[in-house]
Structure 1
Amino acid sequence: MRKSLLFIVLSIISSAMLKAQVITSPDKNLTLKFELQSNGVPSYQLTYKNKQVIKPSTLGIETKDVPSFLDGFTISKTEQSTFDETWSPVWGEQKEIRNHYNELLVTLAQKAVESREIRIRFRLFNDGLGFRYEFPEQKNLTYFVIKEEKTQFALSGDHKAFWLPGDYDTQEYSTVTSNLSEVRGKMKAAVTPNASQTPFSPTGLQTPLMMKSKDGLYINIHEAALVDYSCMSLNLDDKNFVLQSWLTPDAQGNKGYLQAPTQSPWRTIVVSDKAGDILLSKLILNLNEPTKFKDVSWIKPIKYVGVWWEMITGKSTWSYADVPSVKLGETDYSKLKPNGTHAANTQHVKEYIDFAAQNGLDAVLVEGWNVGWEDWFGKSKDYVFDFVTPYPDFDVKELHRYAASKGIKIIMHHETSGSVRNYERHLDTAYKFMVENGYNAVKSGYVGNIIPRGEYHYGQWLVNHYLYTIQKAAEYKIMVNAHEAIRPTGLSRTYPNLIGNESARGTEYEAFGGNNADHTTILPFTRLMGGPMDYTPGIFQTKVSAYNPQNTSFVHTTLAHQLALYVTMYSPLQMAADLPETYNKHMDAFQFIKDVAVDWDNTWVIEAEPGDYITLVRKAKSKEEWYLGSITDENSRIANVTFEFLPKGKTYEAIIYADGKDASFDKNPQSYAIRKLKVNSKTVLKQFVAPGGGFAISIK
């Protein structure tokens, strides 16, 4: 009788292990369910306030050289735990971040392979879910090659999506807003020309992918802590609305080379019934490791100007001479005729330094200072730059002296032109050169197809390269702002010298035909989920022809919208991107750029809807100052601002930089009005916002 009872009990336990393992978020709104389907296939599902976010979705990794991690599993162990801490970022949108989650760790044994196991770790926060695959050290698993990751995200319906075409080399596309069922029909038009691009599927999508369900849930899918692994995109089954992970391959078509013990990046799902909660989520940061650095005193948020926009518009050039080709180390630049349009010359850079010093800015970015720009673009040229040899008209020592005398730093520029092998060849020498000449920050670029040829911008090899440059820069106490690199996944928590990234369609495209008027109302819900963007706002002269009569492009925002971007497009690295002579004509509006902070104590979302509008307010770090930014798409609106974020019982002066009554992004973008207002925590403001417009408020 006792043996029968014991058998029944063990059978119940065994059955339970085969059935669902359930955890809830700390606030009980989210529920995760894990179970093994038939034939031992792992699966999970996720609900939010009893609404389905992810339907039963399978998990697994297909390999090439060892049996795949797809099926035949049994649950050998489950562990549940709770974690709750508060940590302080080196810089950020708030001075303290709570990291609170409930965890489920499932250990799976694979019957077909003796003594082989895989673990799947789930962390359920109040704002979403993170999970990853873990491969512990074990007898029958050392090295293995990934053919494809088979993670599914089975959606509950045909969601509205804000998407970019899936591509191994670029994110510099305009966001398309459509239902998922319309992706296939809109893909061809969405894939616009780029210096390097490799779209992979008629329904391929990039992350972060922002969606809104028919029942009002906002859902964002991305990844966190991307290290030694290929970037994940998503491939859409547009009949069943199932997204499946799609890793970036290498030149041989393989999608990853791993050695146990190791783990995948976290797959993240941020969800809420409020759009503002998506903007405030710190889930991706929380899934990254704490900072690796003991000393972070050298890492400083920066507000800067730069010799950049005049070259983007075509007013000036990066190159020193107009010749068809040059060879590094062989071309004698002293014998070349200067073209007269080279912007990075000593006298001109001094003008930018003077402007920065006069207006309380921190630094000046200089592009085109080093030899090799004459034939760098689109040539798949390996030995293109050495990152230490200046043009004849750029005096490194004198500019170092002059900038230091004014209290200004110069930001270095390293364009690799996709020749990653060449950059690594010169990296130590280049960083030493920076230290010797007073540079403590670098903007790097990866324009064009990658060398080694056949590798992609988002493959494992490049992922490892980007991290290598950040780690190497830290040895020299250098901050990094990488353009055309992998989109961020929260690694700035671990490596806070990663102070900025581009990895999206930035302001430069306003000079290449323009960004859509809704562009910056979407980016905070997509690209900025993993980390800040060097968007380069602050363009006051929105007609590009004012600088280059041959260029008829125009900026698809009002001037007041440009001011608001300093708040809505978070970055600890903010550029005043227009030319000093233009700012000198609008010093009343430029005052906001001078005043606005780049590091924050706290952030509140007043109102938001992806693709339509955003109103954010932030409190400056360690100051009794608040800055508000509000932007809209191509439609005018009335913004409703409450000032409940202010301390009760106190009155403050607000300076409002708003669109003029006749303003619009396409007809009258420079119409703005500035007024002052006394405000307190009970104040309610209704503010007109023009088409493509916005407003900014400083409160002191």
Structure 2
Amino acid sequence: MKKILLVITTCLISPLLLAKSVQVKSPDGNIVVTVNDDKTPNYRIDFNNEGAIEASRLGLRFQKAAELGLGFAITDTQRNTVDSNWQLPWGERKNVRDHYNELLVTFSLDRQSANTFNVRFKVFNDGIGFRYEVPSQPGLDGNIAITNELTEFNVGQPEQTTAWWIPSRGWNRYEYIYQTTKLIDVDHVHTPFTFKLANGHHLSIHEAALVDYAGMTLQKQRGGSLKADLTPWYDGILVRKTAGFTTPWRTVQVSKDAVGLLNSDLILNLNEPSKIEDTSWIEPSKYVGIWWGMHVGENTWGSGDKHGATTSETKRYMDFAAKYGFKGVLVEGWNIGWDGQWYDNGDVFNFTKAYDDFNIKAITEYGLAKGVRLVGHHETSGNVTNYRNQMEDAFKLYQQHGVRQVKTGYVADGGKIKRIDENGIARMEWHDGQFMSNEYLYNIKLAAKYQISINTHEPIKDTGLRRTYPNWIAREGARGQEYNAWGSPPNPPSHTAILPFTRMLSGPMDFTPGTFDMAFKGLGADTDRPQTTLAKQLALYVVIYSPIQMASDLPRNYEANLPAFQFILDVPTDWQESKAIAGEVGKYVAFARQERDGDDWYLGALTNEDARTLTLSLDFLDKTKRYQAQIYRDGEKANWVDNPYEMIIEQKEVSAADSLTLPLATSGGAAIRFKALN
């Protein structure tokens, strides 16, 4: 009788006895990830001995196989530690440390098919990444359709957690004004998704190495839970894979303050090393372009009397570029397809045939003789099949004429891309679905074959693939400067104080700063125009990172203010080191960056609609040197509404032991070059 009672008792408590829990910590011990198999596989994150992400579900569901999740138990673990260094051919810094502790957890269930999967965790000092690794097995051994990813990010105290976000799966892709709300009021959002806990800790959820998979958005659930919501194909399937697959990394960057998020290399470290052996042809640089004139109505993309992309106009811009040291001239509207409603002309764009008033051979020869390259442009207007059919010929043409960089565009009215399937049927796909994930990458790989770098507009979000494919040199992926010409409303003063903590955590952005004429439609608070001071426009060259930076305004506006223009001429686009030194999300931010393989440093600081004074330590400077600080800052009476131009340009001798006090006007800024003196 005792034996029978013992057996019954054991059965009743066995789920608790069998539940397993394993942990992995960051190298500095501050981040702890706990993985558990109680009822369903889950994980939690603690930071500095406080909860950051509470117990959150893991798992996958399929169209024709049982769920990987509910009832699975931990059956094996493997551990590893990595501490190495690698170099970026271009970037925010030259040398990157890759230091993490790794835990591979195997979950299994006693059944005949779909009975095992792995989750690999990498825990860095600045956050974590984890991904699913599903081996080939009965039930998951052929073509596989994923219908649900069960991953959750469970945030406690949502009523006390502040979030900065843009809506996902909307008609305008990623080009929305950021909202600032409590997490409880968040709906369906894009990543990077940044939030501040009640205890002041800052986190950002994103993903790394998005290859052959659907982009992850986040859907708000009950309470503070955020669930992975993968962007579907036209037919509702989320992801199509074959046996033995891995997912992208799900990432959580963690910091005690907002500034710490800006100094993270986690996304890059979770991507594979470069697949391009010789990167010497990838050239960080500054450029100008026949572009802003279209946005302010002086020129047109389409042909006619006001056509911007003409041989004579391009040569004029090349003269300006050569005079001031710019390496490229972007020309939009040169090829057949821009007449009429070009944003709905995807079927008729021709990527090798120019309008009669644009002679690509004469233009490129003229520019190369002056040390200036044509920056190419391919606008798909949302028809990627038409582009795919012409893509190789288009790259051949550009390579023939010495073009090294191409800006691509995927404008699509309604927010979806048009493709023609193998049966000739038109299908509509989201920009961040699996189909387009592969299509964007196909473009990058083919461009590399012809030694061309790509600057993608209307892109899929950046997930660090620039490490693997360094010719993916920049993207858009947020509201850029053009919205200040016609955005109604334009970007608010807080916009560029939010971008570094959200969109910019994913990678470089071609924001196209540098507007000098704020009054092309008149000044005022309700006018479509940059809601900034002139000094803030200069600060953007340091704050909003891109290895290709545009001086976006018209040449005459720069030549009318050469003293301020000097900062744009001086500032590099490639950096030895970058350090965020101050900031609060949506309020203000300050970055210091050292020129690549040089001694000079640059600083950019900007604020939102509130004027403020920042006192910044210069301890980032080399302690053995003295510097001439060439300062461009707001004047005493400057404000963005009706006095944006007032600027003080001054010089001071400083060292690493000094600090600078910078008064910033409403939506103002400061830009500084620290020129080494010894």
- Smaller-chain TM-score bracket: over 0.9
Deviation at 1:603, TM superposition (A): 1.3
- The percentage of aligned residue pairs carrying the same residue is 43
Task: Letter of the 1:424 partner, please give it.
Answer: R
Deviation at 1:112, TM superposition (A): 3.2
Deviation at 1:301, TM superposition (A): 0.5
Kept in 2: contact 1:544–1:552 (CA 8 A): no
- 1:482 matched to 2:446? The reply is no
- 1:591 matched to 2:566? The reply is yes
Kept in 2: contact 1:376–1:384 (CA 8 A): no
In structure 2, do the counterparts of structure 1 residues 138 and 62 end up closer, same or farther at CA, with 3 Å as the change threshold?
Answer: closer
Kept in 1: contact 2:65–2:114 (CA 8 A): no
Deviation at 1:437, TM superposition (A): 1.3
- 1:342 matched to 2:317? The reply is no
Kept in 2: contact 1:132–1:264 (CA 8 A): yes
Distance in 1 of aligned mates of 2:170 and 2:563: 44
Deviation at 1:447, TM superposition (A): 0.3
Deviation at 1:284, TM superposition (A): 0.5
Deviation at 1:669, TM superposition (A): 0.9
CA deviation string 1:142-174 (max 9, x = no partner): 221111211100002121000101225501000
Deviation at 1:383, TM superposition (A): 2.4
Deviation at 1:681, TM superposition (A): 1.1
In structure 2, do the counterparts of structure 1 residues 296 and 13 end up closer, same or farther at CA, with 3 Å as the change threshold?
Answer: farther
Task: Letter of the 2:169 partner, please give it.
Answer: D
Aligned residue for 2:374, secondary structure, equals strand
Partner of 1:268: 251
Distance in 2 of aligned mates of 1:521 and 1:675: 25
- 1:608 matched to 2:578? The reply is no
Aligned residue for 2:210, secondary structure, equals coil
Task: Letter of the 1:274 partner, please give it.
Answer: D
Kept in 1: contact 2:92–2:576 (CA 8 A): yes
Aligned residue for 1:507, secondary structure, equals coil
Distance in 1 of aligned mates of 2:166 and 2:256: 23
Distance in 1 of aligned mates of 2:450 and 2:517: 38
CA deviation string 1:205-263 (max 9, x = no partner): 110001011110001000000000001100112x4110000011111011110112211
Aligned residue for 1:373, secondary structure, equals coil
Partner of 1:313: 296
Partner of 1:679: 654
Deviation at 1:14, TM superposition (A): 11
Query: Which 4+ stretches in 1 moved above 4 angstroms?
Result: 11-17
Distance in 2 of aligned mates of 1:651 and 1:115: 65
Kept in 2: contact 1:168–1:459 (CA 8 A): no
In structure 2, do the counterparts of structure 1 residues 686 and 36 end up closer, same or farther at CA, with 3 Å as the change threshold?
Answer: same
Kept in 2: contact 1:558–1:664 (CA 8 A): yes
Distance in 2 of aligned mates of 1:616 and 1:135: 41
- 1:19 matched to 2:20? The reply is yes
Partner of 1:301: 284
Partner of 2:192: 208
Partner of 1:177: 180
Q: What are the ranges of 5 or more consecutive residues in structure 2 without an aligned counterpart?
A: 1-6, 420-426
Kept in 2: contact 1:231–1:248 (CA 8 A): yes
Partner of 2:394: 430
Partner of 1:394: 358
Aligned residue for 2:261, secondary structure, equals helix
Partner of 1:245: 228
Kept in 2: contact 1:97–1:282 (CA 8 A): yes
Aligned residue for 1:451, secondary structure, equals strand
Deviation at 1:114, TM superposition (A): 3.7
Distance in 2 of aligned mates of 1:613 and 1:509: 21
Deviation at 1:274, TM superposition (A): 2.0
- Which of 322, 331, 339 is 1:374 aligned to? 339
Deviation at 1:13, TM superposition (A): 13
Partner of 1:335: none
Distance in 1 of aligned mates of 2:450 and 2:18: 51
Distance in 1 of aligned mates of 2:652 and 2:23: 53
Distance in 2 of aligned mates of 1:207 and 1:524: 13
Distance in 2 of aligned mates of 1:418 and 1:561: 34
- 1:116 matched to 2:81? The reply is no
Kept in 2: contact 1:637–1:688 (CA 8 A): yes
- Which of 579, 596, 599 is 2:554 aligned to? 579
Partner of 2:417: 450
Partner of 2:154: 154
Deviation at 1:303, TM superposition (A): 0.6
- Which of 496, 511, 520 is 1:520 aligned to? 496
Q: CA RMSD in A?
A: 1.9
Distance in 2 of aligned mates of 1:545 and 1:182: 36
Normalising by the residue count of structure 2, what TM-score does the alignment of the two structures yield? 0.93
Which shifted more, 588-597 or 75-84? Answer: 75-84
CA deviation string 1:567-591 (max 9, x = no partner): 1101101101111000001111111
Kept in 2: contact 1:168–1:458 (CA 8 A): no
CA deviation string 1:330-369 (max 9, x = no partner): xxxxxxxxx3111111111111101111111111100001
Distance in 2 of aligned mates of 1:400 and 1:611: 43
CA deviation string 1:602-625 (max 9, x = no partner): 112221111000011100001110
Aligned residue for 1:53, secondary structure, equals strand
Kept in 2: contact 1:72–1:112 (CA 8 A): no
- 1:408 matched to 2:372? The reply is yes
Count, aligned residues: 648
Deviation at 1:182, TM superposition (A): 3.0
- 1:533 matched to 2:516? The reply is no
Distance in 2 of aligned mates of 1:229 and 1:413: 27
Partner of 2:436: 462
Task: Letter of the 1:377 partner, please give it.
Answer: W
